[in-house]
Structure 1
Amino acid sequence: MSSPTPRRRPSPAVYRRRRLVALVLALIVVGAIVAGIWVVVAQPWRGNAAETSAVTPSPSVSKSVEASPSASAASQAPAEEDAPDEDAAADDAVAADGAPACNAGDVTVEGSTSQESYGSDQNPEFSLTLTNTGDADCTINVGTSAQSFTVTSGSDTWWRSTDCQAKPSDMIVTLAAGQTVSSAETLSWDRTRSSVDTCDSGDRPRAPGSGASYHLAVEIGGIAANGTTQFFLN
C-alpha cells in the first residue's frame, strides 16, 4: 500500500484572503447594528413631528364691526372685540343711557335693494344701513315708527312703507362711535301702488315693468339718506 499524500498547508496569501473576508463580514454586521440604533435613537422627531403639528391650535378669529373710514382709530379699537356682526339688527344695540341724540351730521343712512333688476315674478326687497361717523356715542330711534321706505318713479310716488304700517313701535338705542348696523330683515314691496285708503284692497294698481326705473328713498330716526337707490322692474 502506498502511504497517504500529506495535505498541503494553505499559503500565507490564502490566510490573508480568509481573514479579509471575515473582517468584511464582521464590519457589515456591526454596521447594520449601528445603523439600526441610529434610526431608533438619533431620529425620534420623525414620529413626533406629525403629533406636534396635530395638536397645534389654530389662531382664533374674532368678529368685528366694519367701522366707517372716517371714524377715529380710538373708536375702532373697542369695536373689534366682542362687537356685533355688521348685519346685526339695530334692535340688538344697547339701550340708550345718557348719550346725546344723534344728529344728521354724525350719522349716515343708506338704503339698498337685494337686486338691481327684478323679473316679472320677483318682488323687490329693501333694507337700510346706518353708521355713526362721529367721535362720540349717540342715541337714535330705530323702531318701526321711525323707519320710512319710499318708492318713486320720476315724480310719481308709488309706495310708502308707512301707508299701511301695522302697530309701529319705538326703540331708542345707543349707536357707538364708528359703529355700523343694518336691518336684520328685508322689507318687501308687492309692486302695487300704496295708499292709506287701499290697505285692504286686493286690486291696487300694479307698477309697470318692462325695464321701468324706480328709486328707493329711506329715512330712520328723522335722518334721511343723502341719495336714492335706483332699481328696475321687468
Structure 2
Amino acid sequence: MSGATGRRKHSPAVYRRRRLVLLILLIVIAVAVWLVIAQPWRGSASENDTTTPPSATQDAASELPVPDNAAGSSAVANPDPSASVIVEPAPEASAVTTAEPCIARDVKVEALTDSDTYGSGQNPQLSMRVTNNGTEDCGLNVGTTTQVFTITSGSDTWWRSTDCQTEPSDMVVLLAAGQTVTSAAPLTWDRTRSSVESCGPDASRQAAPGGGATYRLDVEIGGIRSLEPKQILLY
C-alpha cells in the first residue's frame, strides 16, 4: 500500500448544499446593490411629505392692497358710480372672524416715500407700513376702503388718494403679534392738486409749486392714522 492517503470524495449532497449557499449569497448581494441604487424609500417619503401651504390670511397680510385709480396715481379715470359700494372680499381673501380687532394703540402706521427730495419731473412714490406692536394677533381691515394717502403743504391739502378712487374693497386680515406689512406697490403722486371734480381724463389740475417747497404725507388704514408725517421737498 502507498503511504499517501487518498483524499475523501464528498457526496453530491454536499456540493448541492454549497451551491445553494453560494446562490443565496449572490441573491443577498444583488438585493443590497439594488437598494443602494434604487432607494425605493424616497418615493414613499415624497408621497407622504405634505407641507401645509400658507393660509390665505398669511398671503393677504404679507402686502397691503393698492388703491385703484387713486387721485394723481399712474392712471386717472372717470369716477365709477359704484365706487362708494363696499365690495366684499372673495373667500380666498380670508376675512378674519375669530381674532379680536386690532387696538389702535398697538398698531404703528408709517408713511413712506421712495425719496426725501424730488427734482423737476420726478413724481413721489407713496407707500405705507403697518406693524402690530401688540402681544396678541388681531384682525385689521387693510382693504382700499380704509386706506387714505394725503399730501399737505402747511394747512393746505393738496392731494388725497380717495378723491378719484374707484371700486374700493374691504380686506380683513390677521396681523400676527410683531408682524409688519407694507404696500404691495406704491402710489404715484403726479404733483397736482386733486379733488372729486378733477377725475376725468380731460380735467385740468393745478401743478404743485416746486423750488424746494415742503410737502407732507400722512396715511391712514383701518381707522388708524400715522403718528408722524413724512416730509418731502419738490424742486
**% same residue:** 56
Distance 1:208 1:107 in 2: 34
Distance 1:186 1:165 in 2: 15
Matches within 5 A, 1:82-231: 88-90=62-64, 95-200=95-200, 201-231=202-232
CA contact (8 A) 1:164 1:195 kept: yes
Distance 2:62 2:211 in 1: 35
Distance 1:159 1:145 in 2: 17
Return the letter of the residue paired with 1:219: E
Displaced runs of 4 or more, over 2 A: 90-95
Q: Does the residue aligned with 2:110 lie in a helix, a strand or coil? A: strand
| Consecutive unaligned residues in structure 2, runs of 5 or more | 1-57, 66-91
Return the letter of the residue paired with 2:177: A
Measured on the aligned residues, the alpha-carbon RMSD in Å equals 2.0
Distance 1:173 1:108 in 2: 16
CA contact (8 A) 2:94 2:172 kept: no
Return the letter of the residue paired with 2:64: A
Distance 1:112 1:167 in 2: 24
Report how many aligned residue pairs link the two structures.
Answer: 150
State the shift of 1:227 in Å: 1.2
Matches within 5 A, 1:12-23: none
Return the letter of the residue paired with 2:213: A
Q: Does the residue aligned with 1:99 lie in a helix, a strand or coil? A: coil
Q: Deviations over 1:195-232 (max 9, x none)?
A: 00111143210000011000000000000011100001
State the shift of 1:90 in Å: 3.3
Greater Rg, structure 1 or structure 2? 1
TM-score by length of 2: 0.60
CA contact (8 A) 1:120 1:209 kept: yes
* Structure having greater relative contact order (Cα 8 Å, sep ≥ 6): 2
Indicate the residue corresponding to 1:75 in structure 2: none
Q: Deviations over 1:30-57 (max 9, x none)?
A: xxxxxxxxxxxxxxxxxxxxxxxxxxxx
TM-score by length of 1: 0.61
